Amino acid sequence: MSDNPNPVIYVQENEIKDEEDVLMSSRYSLGEDELDPFDEEEIFDLVRNITDPEHPLTLEQLNVVRVENINIDIKKSYIRLYFTPTVPHCSMANLIGLSIKEKLARSLPKRFKVDVIVTPGSHSSESSGKYIYTIVNYY
Amino acid sequence: MSQSSQDETIKCIEGYVNPQSEESKKTSSLNSILLGLVSKRIDIQDIVLGLGDYLNTKDSILRARGTLLLSEVLCRLPDYKLNQDQIHFLSMFYCDRLQDTPCAAEVVKEVHPSSLTHAHRKMVLQIIEIMFNKCLGEIQELKNDFMVGYLQFIDNEKDPRNLIYSFKLMPKVIYNIPEHKNFLESLFEILSCYFPISFNPKGNDPNAITRDDLSNSLLNCFSCTPLFAEYSIPFLIDKICSNLVETKIEALKALVYCCDRYGGEAIRPFLEDIWSALRTQILTHKNASVIEESKKTIFYLCKSLTKDQKVLESFLAIMIRECLHHIKSSQDSKIAIYCASILYQAISSSLLSSKIILIHVLPNLFKFFKELQQEDSVTKTNEQNSVLGLFSDLLKANSLAFDINSTSDTEVINPLTPFVEQLYQLFTDLLVNPSSAIRASSIECLSFLYISKKVKTNENGENEFLLDIEKRQVIIKNLVSLLNENDSTLRHKSLESLFNIASNENPKVINEYAIPTLLQMINSVHTDSTTTDQLKDLKNYLEAFSKLCTHQPLLESVIPQIQILIQHNIKDTYQNEQDFQKCILILKAISSILEKSTNQVTMTICSDSILLPLIKGLYKQIIFSSPTTFNLDYFNQILTASLKMIHSIVENTSLDSQTKKLYSLIDLFLKGDLKVLGFTDDEISNKQILPFENNITKENENIRLLIPIFTTCISQSKSDLSSNDQLKQSLYEMSLNTNVSETTSISCNKAYASILNKQPDDVNNYPTDFEFFENNLIKVIKSPESPIEYRIRCLDLLTWCTKALLTNGNKINIQLGNCISDIISTVTDSNEITSRASKSFDILLDNTDVLNEKSGSVIKILYDQKFFTLMFPILLESFKKYKATPSISSHYLMAISYLLRHVPKEVLLSELNEILPIVMQSLKSNDSNSLELLESSLQTLKMLINETPNSFISYLDSLIPSLIQISVKSPQYNLRRLALEILTLISKLLPFHNLFQFKQDVTTGIIPCLDDKKRIVRKQASNCRNNWFILQK
């Protein structure tokens, strides 16, 4: 039996999926020399669609990851992402953390140091330090 | 008869009767017997004699085959003459056979299936089937004995050919042998071990039994008697709970099928079990397809139970009880939301279930919602919103059930009727709720309540709604007032709802309030004080107006208003930049409305009331402007929007109403007849407006700007204008005029090409013979003495004329194509001309806004494929010939790439061996001016990989490194993105064992793309890299 058989479902923000919308969206500049810097939303786009290990729902729908809980410091090349398990005793928390970590490791350039951390106060064994994943030099 | 032929006959008989003989031997033996009979070498008596012992043997198979031979002979030779005695003898013999059947049945009982080969087992099954057809009475007398023998026989069968036979026989046995009731359990046990069917037919099986065949006939056995329900339903429920996704889905489908055939009474004892199995799947399973299939099962079950109201009621009662419980205990949780979707399925299945559910659920929901509000109206927002979501689901499902299931019979009452007032009150109260999410949900609920109908459609074909007109007006007013809401979700929701309403409501009602208000809002944006905010308001209103106008009947009714809008917004002078911005926004919105409308009737009305006033507006801009006030930039923007409108209108107008307009437009543009537009003499006093005139003074140059209006109309006209030489000459000259802009010249090209395309073949007037083009255009293009601009104009015109003649299948098209190909290598003094010539192959086969079906062009069937098959070898040959001169060969490569882009896939695949090396080569070419070439090769590559991934297996060695190279190094982000996209496609479409060795190369090779400066490239790179990490067998 899963730890939380009945999680609350949250409304999804609009994600750009369609090819045409991508070109129309202001998030993608058109000039050849214009620079699109990394931002929180881009990191969020990478992790929002990861499927929860227990439900046919995404981490976004379960509010495990939120764009507000991502910080990015371009100058220091540092990203910090907090994730929130749906219940404090969730045994899947480390699997979720690892999934996020792996997805980011595969998708981000290596100049970034990334910390994937369980949101303070959201998990019963957070103090054990088991749920902090740091990605450095992962190639 | 000679001894030898007698021996031969006996040999043939032997060959046919012996069950061990091969099929071909049997056939040839039978044929030689038949031939012998026809040629009178032997006669029927010899056969009977020759069969002799076979007809009396105790081996039933041999006896059967002996009899079969005799019967075959008689059936196959219907004209064979028999004498009296022979007939008598044969009839007696066959009468005898009939009495042989009980013995056969005994035989069936005694047969031990395991000792027979599969072909023999099949024969036994055939015999049983024959007995069912011929002597049912005798079999029925065997009662239990038959069943015992039968059961023993069908048990343990593994051969699919026999299985399908046995499955097909089963329903017959059950219908005809009442004693099957004593053996139900064993029967089902034998059947059930085959479920779910796991059988993969070999590709070359001539009997071609498919998995579906087996599966369907097994299902047919399961469902052939309601008495099976006792065993099959628990069995299927057990399978639904199994671990395999495929089994679950198969079992769910089987359950639906069986329950439908058993009928309500038979499944009544299992309702609780069925519900609990389905509920468990929907609420707890992880696989989305299982959840989807379970929901569908609920839908179909409810639908089929409608036949039996009592059973349906008890099933729904269980469902309602549990769903309400979950919804009440946690409204916004996963389970509650899934429960809502269960109710949705059940309601939409039929009116009856809708009625039962709504009566139970709605009062509960009302009460419950009130409790939530009283409890804590602020913190419980998410919960309240979920309940509203449920309300809207219920309304939507009910409308669905009502629309599909009710007939036009007025006696059907919408199950929602008793609750309308209460619902309306609840939702309208919520419109002032502080939470915008709740307001958005209540808007949606209101719109679904609005479109809930009283009866399906009344006698006048109009919808009659549950809500009375006053309430509906209130809803519309509320929605319209929200169209300019700052909160974008709320705004979109109200626009969506309004559109939903408009699509169902009579246009009259929408025209009463919604449209006038919108127009008033659009007009009331004041230009003197226009701030960016007001432009934003305007955009919102225009968006709403355009959206509503996509509903055809509504558009038809607002055409007069659109005309007024156009007149008011093409002004002689604009007060300031904002004023102009406002007008251009409105014009753009109108052009997008017209673009979306393809209804001929509506567009003919548009053509009558909008076209000429629009052109007049544009004329005024030119005629009444002084050089000081005329703003070319403004005019061009207005013109672009207007041309789009003109294009859409002319394109969709019928031929009849087009023709008259065209003639007056020809008068207007070629003869300067301004009265066509309704100008009065005072207004035009002596003005000469002839845009096509050759000698135009400098100050009159602006009137050339009007040309595209005319050419757009001409290119979209469906009628043949080729007899008008003046028209053709004017367009021809303007096309080659180097004093007008390129767009104007191209628009003349298009119009000229459209006329050429429709010119009948037999007419000998110029210019569909090759010499005309040769003398007037091709010579000029090739002569270095002529000014370069003029040569380019000639090339453009040549291209468009070729396209026109290519489309209508004129014989000289390939000659012209050949000339263009020739230009690439012979013109050496101008790179611009060669590159344009190679690009023209893109234009030739591209879908353009002219020369298409809509503009009434003559389109020869498969013209593009024909052109390709002729043109491709020519270009390929030239490419090979000039391989040593890259400046020429790269242009040929471009031309080939352009050609490939427009060729149907089937043709492309047949030329694959020629094409692939070329595409691969162009990927490697490092020519910096060949970026376009690279792009078109990449596009081609993308299409090819999608179509035939496996042809690339042998190229992977060079393909993958080139793609990585491009994705990392290319200066254009579009190319980097395309290369990554192709790499992603490769990872998805090619077999694992071919890709695996490249995994490391790709995942490390594209790392730099993860840090690309363009976000769009990074997005593709991360997608690509993740795909390569998870390559799967």
CB contact under 8 A, B1025 and A27: no
Comparing CB atoms, the residue among A6, A22, A103 nearest residue B333 is: A6
pLDDT per position as a tens digit, B597-647: 888 888 888 888 888 889 988 888 888 877 777 888 888 999 999 999 999
pLDDT per position as a tens digit, A52-98: 888 888 898 888 998 889 999 999 899 999 998 888 887 888 888 88
Tell me whether B330 touches chain A (CB under 8 Å): yes
Report CA-CA distances (Å) from B510 to B35, B503, B514, B558.
84, 10, 5, 10
Say how far residue B459 (Cα) sits from the centre of its chain: 35
**Which class for B154: exposed (0-12), middle (13-18), buried (19 or more C-beta within 10 A)?**
buried
CB contact under 8 A, A9 and B333: yes
Q: How many CA atoms lie within 13 A of A75 on its CB side?
A: 0
B interface test, pick of A58, A106, A110 with most B CB neighbours within 10 Å: A106
A interface test, pick of B438, B1014, B1028 with most A CB neighbours within 10 Å: B1014
According to DSSP, the residues that pair with B453 across neighbouring strands are: B465
Beta strands (DSSP E) in A1-131 are: 70-73, 78-83, 113-118
CB contact under 8 A, B1025 and A106: yes
B interface test, pick of A9, A12, A45 with most B CB neighbours within 10 Å: A9
Reported pTM: 0.71
Domain ranges of chain A: 34-135
Helix (H, G, I), strand (E, B) or coil at B1012: coil
B363 compared with A136, residue with greater pLDDT: B363
- Nearest Cα of chain B lies from the Cα of A54 at a distance, in angstroms, of 6
CB contact under 8 A, A106 and B1019: no
Comparing CB atoms, the residue among B285, B334, B1016 nearest residue A7 is: B334
Domain ranges of chain B: 723-903, 910-1030
Give the alpha-carbon dihedral of B240, B241, B242, B243, to 10 degrees: 110
Scanning B759-911, the segments in alpha helix (DSSP H) are 770-773, 779-782, 788-807, 813-826, 831-845, 863-881, 886-901, 905-910
* Eight-state DSSP code of residue B741: -
CB contact under 8 A, A7 and B1018: no
d(CA B587, CA B607): 16
Tell me whether B1030 touches chain A (CB under 8 Å): no
B494 compared with A136, residue with greater pLDDT: B494
Helix (H, G, I), strand (E, B) or coil at A135: strand
CB interface of B with A, residues 370-389, below 8 Å: 382
Tell me whether B508 touches chain A (CB under 8 Å): no
Find the residue in A nearest to B291 (Cα).
Answer: A56
Name the CA radius of gyration of chain B, rounded.
Answer: 40
By DSSP bridging, strand A70-73 and strand B464-465 are: unpaired
Q: Which residues of A touch B337 (CB under 8 A)?
A: 9
Q: Which residues of A touch B1010 (CB under 8 A)?
A: 107-109
Q: Which residues of A touch B382 (CB under 8 A)?
A: 8
Q: Which residues of A touch B1008 (CB under 8 A)?
A: 109
Q: Which pLDDT does position B624 carry in this prediction?
A: 80
CB contact under 8 A, A106 and B285: no
Longest distance between any two alpha carbons in chain A, whole Å: 53
CB contact under 8 A, A6 and B1019: no
Task: Give the residue numbers in A contacting B (CB under 8 Å), as ranges.
Answer: 2, 5-9, 22, 27-29, 32, 34-36, 42, 45-46, 54-57, 103, 106-111, 139
| Cβ–Cβ < 8 Å for B648, B591 | yes
| Cβ–Cβ < 8 Å for B380, B429 | no
CB contact under 8 A, B1007 and A36: no
CB contact under 8 A, A109 and B337: no
CB interface of B with A, residues 290-309, below 8 Å: 291
CB contact under 8 A, A8 and B333: yes
d(CA B924, CA B937): 10
| Cβ–Cβ < 8 Å for B248, B242 | yes
Tell me whether B335 touches chain A (CB under 8 Å): yes
Comparing CB atoms, the residue among A42, A56, A107 nearest residue B291 is: A56
| Cβ–Cβ < 8 Å for B291, B281 | yes
- Nearest Cα of chain B lies from the Cα of A69 at a distance, in angstroms, of 21
How many Cβ pairs within 8 Å bridge chains A and B? 71
Find the residue in A nearest to B970 (Cα).
Answer: A32
Q: Which of B643, B752, B748 is nearest to B704 (CA)?
A: B748
Q: How many CA atoms lie within 13 A of B754 on its CB side?
A: 30
Beta strands (DSSP E) in A19-129 are: 70-73, 78-83, 113-118
| Cβ–Cβ < 8 Å for B629, B620 | no
Q: Which residues of A touch B294 (CB under 8 A)?
A: none
Find the residue in A nearest to B339 (Cα).
Answer: A6
**Which class for B906: exposed (0-12), middle (13-18), buried (19 or more C-beta within 10 A)?**
exposed
Q: Which pLDDT does position B751 carry in this prediction?
A: 93
d(CA A52, CA A63): 11
d(CA B635, CA B612): 18
d(CA B163, CA B218): 9
Kindly provide the ipTM of the predicted complex, given to two decimals.
0.90
Helix (H, G, I), strand (E, B) or coil at A116: strand
Is the link from the previous residue into B201 a cis peptide, with omega within 30 of 0? Answer: no
* Eight-state DSSP code of residue B333: B
The architecture in CATH of the region B910-1030 reads Alpha Horseshoe (1.25)
CB interface of B with A, residues 964-983, below 8 Å: 971-973
A interface test, pick of B490, B972, B1019, B1020 with most A CB neighbours within 10 Å: B1019
| Cβ–Cβ < 8 Å for B857, B809 | no
d(CA B44, CA B921): 77
B interface test, pick of A6, A14, A24, A101 with most B CB neighbours within 10 Å: A6
Q: Which pLDDT does position B454 carry in this prediction?
A: 80
Residue A138, pLDDT > 50, answer no
Tell me whether B286 touches chain A (CB under 8 Å): yes
Q: Count H helices, E strands: chain B?
A: 52, 2
The CATH fold of domain A34-135:
GMP Synthetase; Chain A, domain 3 (3.30.300)
Residue A137 structure tokens: 């030099």
d(CA B710, CA B689): 13
According to DSSP, the residues that pair with A115 across neighbouring strands are: A80, A134
In the predicted model, residues of chain B with pLDDT beneath 70 are 1-4, 60, 94-118, 202-207, 376-379, 405-411, 456-462, 526-532, 762-768, 925-930, 1033
d(CA B494, CA B450): 13
Q: Which residues of B touch A22 (CB under 8 A)?
A: 1016, 1019
Find the residue in B nearest to A23 (Cα).
Answer: B1016
d(CA B152, CA B342): 44
Tell me whether B1004 touches chain A (CB under 8 Å): yes
How would residue A32 be classed by pLDDT, with cut points 50, 70 and 90?
Answer: confident
d(CA B71, CA B374): 89
d(CA B593, CA B613): 18
CB contact under 8 A, B334 and A9: yes
d(CA B1, CA B42): 7
- Nearest Cα of chain B lies from the Cα of A32 at a distance, in angstroms, of 7
CB contact under 8 A, B333 and A29: no
Q: Which residues of B touch A103 (CB under 8 A)?
A: 1026
| Cβ–Cβ < 8 Å for B221, B196 | no
